[in-house]
């Protein structure tokens, strides 16, 4: 996680073979990639590829908070088709009978190796399941429990977790309102897909 105070950050270069997917938790500013500038706002995903230089300009007065996930970039020729993607502009898609998600950075944005999305989880517990890919989950809003194998962990805003491929898990929303989570898959995948699903 990056926390940017008002002002312009120093530029940093992504290592060759590494790409980065960003998600704006709070605050507003500009993402500067090379000589281009792109507005940043809450609930927005952004994509930076191997070898690119990036900086963040925060006009203030609030802190700008960004969750960043780095992943290998197998296709070194990939370039963003869309540098930033707003959650509000993406269509909701079903993930099971009562959950939904919206893609942010995926193949439509030019990212072929990784998928970034925001999921909405209603109160309750979904069936235990697993995926065939590595998954990073960050809790944006809401409270609940991560069930991972035989372990349970209380989670809330700011909680982050790594779910290895084929790890059996589920997120339980113990609150009265919806829980919102950021998910990042490598290699790219579909939040609705399951390698294992206890309900089937």
Question: What per-residue confidence (pLDDT) applies to 176?
Answer: 94
Residue 157 has a pLDDT of 97
Q: What is the C-alpha separation between 94 and 79, in angstroms, rounded? A: 28
Q: What is the pLDDT of residue 10?
A: 96
Residue appearing with tokens 């990939």: 78
- pLDDT reported for residue 46: 98
Q: Where do you find CATH 2.60.120.10 in the chain?
A: 2-86, 88-197
Please identify every stretch of the chain with a pLDDT value under 50, giving residue numbers as ranges.
none
Note the CATH number of domain 88-197: 2.60.120.10
What integer pLDDT is reported at residue 195 of this predicted model? 52
Residue 192 has what pLDDT?
64
Rounded to whole angstroms, what are the CA distances from 78 to 62, 110, 112? 34, 7, 8
The structural architecture, per CATH, of the domain 2-86 is Sandwich (2.60)
């Amino acid at each position: 996680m990056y926390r940017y105070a008002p002002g312009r950050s120093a530029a940093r270069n992504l290592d060759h073979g590494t790409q980065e997917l960003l998600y704006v938790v709070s605050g507003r500013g500009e993402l500067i990639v090379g000589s281009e500038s792109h507005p940043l706002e809450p609930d927005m995903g952004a994509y930076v590829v191997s070898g690119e230089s990036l900086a963040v300009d925060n006009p203030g007065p609030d802190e700008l908070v960004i969750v960043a996930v780095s992943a290998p970039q197998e296709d070194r020729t990939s370039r963003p088709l869309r540098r930033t993607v707003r959650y509000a502009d993406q269509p909701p898609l079903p993930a099971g009978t009562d959950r939904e998600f919206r893609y942010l950075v995926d193949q439509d944005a030019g990212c072929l190796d990784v998928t970034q999305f925001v999921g909405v989880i209603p109160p309750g517990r979904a069936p235990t399941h697993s995926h065939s890919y590595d998954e990073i989950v960050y809790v944006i809003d809401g409270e609940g429990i991560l069930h991972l194998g035989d372990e349970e962990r209380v989670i809330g805003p700011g909680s982050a977790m790594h779910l290895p491929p084929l790890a059996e898990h589920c997120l339980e929303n113990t609150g009265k309102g919806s829980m919102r989570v950021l998910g990042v898959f490598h290699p790219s995948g579909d939040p609705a897909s399951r390698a294992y699903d206890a309900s089937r």
